[in-house]
Structure 1
Amino acid sequence: MNLTFPATFDNFYDNRDASLNSVACSNGPAGLVNRFPKLGNLPGFPYIGGAFAVSSWSSPNCGTCWSLTYPQTGVTINYLAIDTSGVGFNMAQGAMDKLTNGQTRSLGKINVIAKQVPAASCGI
């Protein structure tokens, strides 16, 4: 089922040298840090960030993959959920730039059509 969600950006997720210990999906049963110590080690970087589905530390939804489409451009990316977001998605600027054809700064917030897809689609 495709649903529409708000999407914002945070440049923290663009820092390839940032430790995964800084996000909700760091350690614990659903943690990713042992396989991917830095954000830049994640498959699909910089198409990463927070997602509404990750409700807390070590959520079972850590590492879920989402197909996100920005209807205004028709661009779709596969996005890896590694952190909490509250409502919608909070992504790397690089991810939003891809969706918006480089218009992240001028738009700030967009609405995307989201559908969960197999984790393998994000390289997990």
Structure 2
Amino acid sequence: MSLEHPSWWDAHSDQPYKLARSEKPRLQAANLNEYLRTALCALGSLPTIAWHYARPKRIASPTPRDFVGLGVSPDHGSHQAVSDLVEELGVQNLLLRVPSWHADKLDYYLDFAGRFKGH
């Protein structure tokens, strides 16, 4: 089954196409109030953030095996090939991307996810 994506979706990178410079919003006077509120919030939070990073760490960092994962999608390649590659890599954490416009096809994604029960 080949899933259809919207015209603005880049199938190669599995994310939206990059916007052209002309399509990007610019700084406008109407947005200055929002920028000011954001700046004041950041300045107000700065002492707490600085204190948090200045004190000694009490928790150990996760090991790469527990921290690193892999994003998989049923859109690319054979499902068996993807499953075999994940098994070969020994990945413990998987992220399955389900675009919101495929909400009506959840069973398809659940069947694909069922191949990775140990991950």
Band the TM-score falls in, shorter-chain normalisation: under 0.3
Larger RCO, structures 1/2 (Cα 8 Å, 6+ apart): 1
Bigger-Rg structure (1/2)? 2
Normalized per residue, which structure has more strand? 1
